Amino acid sequence: MARALASAALLVAACAPDTEPSWAFDPIELRPTEEGGVTGFQTWELFSEKWDKNHAEKHYICAVVVEFEGAVTSCTSCVAAWEVTTSVLESDCDAAIVDDPMFTSLVGIGLGNLSEDPAAPHPGSTSEGRADYGAGWETHGLAWPKTLDEGGTAGAAWDGVEPFTLWPTAAWPLEI
């Protein structure tokens, strides 16, 4: 009987969902404004520790959507850059998670030179995505005109008209 209870307890523990976020992945949508600024959304998708092994959606826990708006600024490694202010728009996470200042730490966003990587999602139209989380500019990932994801055509660089997708090339380990 004790062995059966121990086996049942192990089975329940093995099947229990992992609800503690360990990884964050933060794609960004960037939209130009008529004044030369930008608006957009940064969606922090949070995943359990197991997500690191195969990036399966089944390890999704919750998301924090951050809205931002920004005005033109300078960045030596950017062809276009904006200083942004952020605020949490919505979330399906617990309040304790949403309150973490990491989610609203983005203070600058920029687009670098065109990527030379032939494996880029849209060769010839993919730029380097840049971000400043308060400690200086760093590579966020890759960026391209959003219309390319929908089968449209676009120029090779930021034109101040087309929305852009900034896709991270790495995930953030979390310590919330």
pLDDT per residue over 76-97, tens digit each? 989 999 999 999 999 999 999 9
Residues 6+ apart with CB under 8 A from 14: none
Q: In whole angstroms, what is the distance from residue 49 CA to residue 68 CA?
A: 28
Flag whether 157 is in a domain. Answer: yes
Residue type, 110: G
For residues 136 and 14, the model is more confident at 136
The count of structural domains within the chain is 1
Residue at 1 is within a domain: no
| Residue 41 located in a structural domain | yes
Place of tokens 């959003």: 146
Residue 104 pLDDT > 50, yes or no? Answer: yes
Is it the case that residue 9 has pLDDT exceeding 50? no
Q: What is the CA radius of gyration of the chain?
A: 19
Find the distance separating the first CA and the last CA of the chain, reported in whole Å.
40
Average pLDDT over residues 35-61: 92
pLDDT of 69 above 90? yes
Residue 137: domain span:
18-173
Structure tokens at 11: 């089975």
Q: Residue 10 above 80 pLDDT?
A: no
Confidence of residue 17 (pLDDT cuts 50, 70, 90): low
To the nearest whole number, what is the mean pLDDT of the chain? 87
Whether 176 contacts 100, CB under 8 Å: yes
Half-sphere exposure of 75 (CA within 13 A, CB side): 26
Residue 86 lies in a domain: yes
